[in-house]
Structure 1
Amino acid sequence: MTPVTERDVALREHALRLLDAAGAGPAPIVRAGHPALRGVAVPFDGQLEGEELDGLLALMHRTMRAAPGVGLAAPQIGLPLAIAVLEDPGMTSEQVAAVRERAPLPYRVLVNPSYEPAGDEPDGDERVAFYEGCLSVPAYQAVVARWRSVRLTGADERGTALDEVVTGWSARIVQHETDHLGGTLYLDRAELRSLAAADEIGMRWASEPRPTGAAEALGFALDAG
């Protein structure tokens, strides 16, 4: 049995305070500039027991939905623990969804996740560039080139090992949320000249499957690398 450390005790107490403060509602989402978003999250190793972990996951899930978003990492509610929740209802435009390879992603939990490009898969080294945003950097989006397919490893909330290939928009969500656990924001990987207010993107380029019009108008190269 792994010895309980002072850090483990502090994490548990922090999580329980979050649960108590939120009640049946969502938790506040911390913004860029909060130290929790720039530290490396502590691997989950049983710091929370069954009902406590279930409570934290439920809190993260309803916080993500209330925002709304398609993913949330524990550091985004100020808790430096290596856990993330994902859920994507997909999108209504079939044309845009097809280009972005965006299909509904059922709710799932990632514990201590990591990823690498799925280089042994067809097109496993391919990168694709699209606009994305972040609940911790509200009202703005930027173009990020990410791996089209990744090998995801880690565990689910019950400790079952994960080792799978994820492709398309779901792979983008996995990369974005896993990056949070290492202290990386999407802006660290973005083409900063593409940075735009979300309402500007919605008004000008929302119907574009790829950000080609934005690249031309804002003067950045749409090169996935």
Structure 2
Amino acid sequence: MSAYLDIVPKILPGVIVTIEILLAASCLAIVVAFIAGLGRISRFAFIRRITAVYVELFRGTSLLVQLFWIFFALPAFGFQFTPFLAGVVALGLNYGAYGSEIVRGAIMAIPQGQTEASIALNMTRWQRLRLVILPQAIRMMLPGFGNTLIELLKGTSLVSLITLTDLTYKGLILQNTNLSYTFPVFIVLLVLYFIIALPLIIGVRKLEKNASRGVVRA
């Protein structure tokens, strides 16, 4: 027990960094997901191709490689990132690519009759999207986005490899300085990551419940 009492205060500062990265990267991922998801169904072929290249590139390559590329390789081309910004950009773009498929899939799942009815009401394309399609599609996106955000939280552990003193970094430092702490450190990391993930799980479920009110199920 004394080992845990010694570990927890030393590892807690890393929790703040992990939460900051999670919040910033989540905001970026959601924005990118909607932009790319809508781009995938654009009526303009050029936009569809550009967004398809982005999505397949970030889904088809390792997050770790993307992180190293942004932090270590891009400075050679004149793009300098702080460790925090590199972590946020890599995580946001990577999980934004996965999220874009959630957006695209939800929008494509809306029955065609909804679009035809809104056309009959003389709505513009933007009005149809904003007033008819998106309100229904967002309800279907919530479970997928919930899973993506939890995956993003787990992905934050990789930012320790670019010198960010996050939760994992703090734990590894403690484990390397005292090998007898190996088991307690990873138990504490396990518990702390779960505690951070718990509000995400509860929050998404509450949003799903609120969004489903008044919806008639077939």
Task: State if a TM-score over 0.5 links the two structures.
Answer: no
Give the TM-score band, short-chain normalised.
Answer: under 0.3
Q: Which has the higher contact order (CA 8 A, sep 6+)?
A: 2
Q: Which of these two proteins has the greater Rg computed from alpha carbons?
A: 2
TM-score (structure 1 length as normaliser): 0.26
